[in-house]
Amino acid sequence: MSAIPSRSREIGSLRLDPTHALPARTSAGAVPSPSLWRGIARLADPKISLASMASISLGAAAAARDGWLHWEWLAITVLGIFAIEVAKNASGEIVDFGTGVDQSVAPEDRSPFSGGKRVLVDGLLTHGQTVAVAVVAYAIGIGVGLAISAERHPGVLWLGLAGIWLAYFYHAPPIRLSYRGLGELAVAAAYGPLIACGTYLVQRREWSEAVFLASLPLGFLIATFLWICEFPDLRADRAAGKKTLVVTLGPNAASRVYLVLALTAYGAIALLPAVGLPRSVWLGLAGIPFSLWAAARLVQSPEITGRVIPAQAATLIAFLVAAAGMSVGLLWNR
């Protein structure tokens, strides 16, 4: 952690540096600067939020297949998960800025999909503002979770607590999952079974083994997205002691593991009818061409960010196409 003046205050493990001034007030009162809104918008990055929305869609499709869909509770579920997404991004910015990871990403390694949200590095938000966003967003997410668990099913509370734990300690000490080679597993669990099963539980007020099994391929596919996003950050992560699995394996070996993860995901989709799901879930296999193209490009140039960025985009598209295909496949056989 970089040095912080003794006058700084701590909120949990997030440090608030008073030397970062808040936007100036005018005679009419406090006026948020344009950079404040740009910073908040960047923390609410829709590209990354698509991952959680895709998992929600799978859980919702499974719920609609088994009965009426409660749209009001679906909207509340989306709000809660989106709030936790924003909170995770904000608290992660504080930690990664403190360790120096974000500042260490070279200009040529910047990517729209990796390297953090850079709201502190680019001066869009102060430390205090970023902490405030994290606190407010976590509070909203927790409040939504408590309301849902009280009205729909108490199991939502435990899933929500697990989600918040993974979101916060993905970056934050003392756990620091992403710094210990556990970030990939955490993301697979959260954006696969946790969100999909939680969405179904809110709707149907019961657990579903079928939804759990259907969500596993999504977990593997979102893990491939995180995996490929770690390549542009490899040098910065290594310098800051952030031991992602890509750092541990090295770029060449890690580029080959990407293909293994993707093939495992599609193999799991292919096997879903064997455990009772309709064959129409095979529509999720439509993501294969995007994953194979990304894998080929990554193997060719794992250390050239300019060539990895299109593969990152293709990987995200593969995940979204697979999720949409599986969701449509479940609805097809209502």
Assigned CATH topology for domain 33-332? Farnesyl Diphosphate Synthase (1.10.600)
Asked whether 164 and 200 are in contact (CB, 8 A), the reply is no
Closest CA to 53 of 242, 252, 199, 220: 199
Amino acid in the structure at residue 175 = I
Tens of pLDDT, residues 19-68: 333 343 333 444 456 688 899 999 988 776 888 999 999 999 999 999 99
pLDDT of 155 reads: 94
Positive or negative, the CA dihedral 70, 73, 79, 83 is negative
The residue extents of the domains of the chain are 33-332
- Residue 126 to residues 10, 14, 72, Cα–Cα distance (Å): 15, 13, 36
Residue 124, SS3 per DSSP: coil
Residue 311 above 50 pLDDT? Answer: yes
pLDDT of 334 reads: 67
Amino acid in the structure at residue 322 = A
Give the residue with greater pLDDT, 333 vs 85: 85
Tens of pLDDT, residues 125-158: 999 999 999 999 999 999 999 999 999 999 999 9
Closest CA to 4 of 88, 95, 133: 95
Residue 243 above 90 pLDDT? Answer: yes
Positive or negative, the CA dihedral 164, 169, 175, 179 is positive
Residues 215 and 71: their CA atoms lie apart, in Å, by 21
Count the residues in the chain: 334
Residue 114, SS3 per DSSP: strand
Residues 217 and 263: their CA atoms lie apart, in Å, by 10
* 263-269: long-range pairs with CB below 8 Å, 24+: 264/220, 265/217, 265/218, 265/220, 265/221, 265/224, 265/291, 265/322, 266/217, 266/291, 266/322, 268/216, 268/217, 268/220, 269/217, 269/322, 269/326
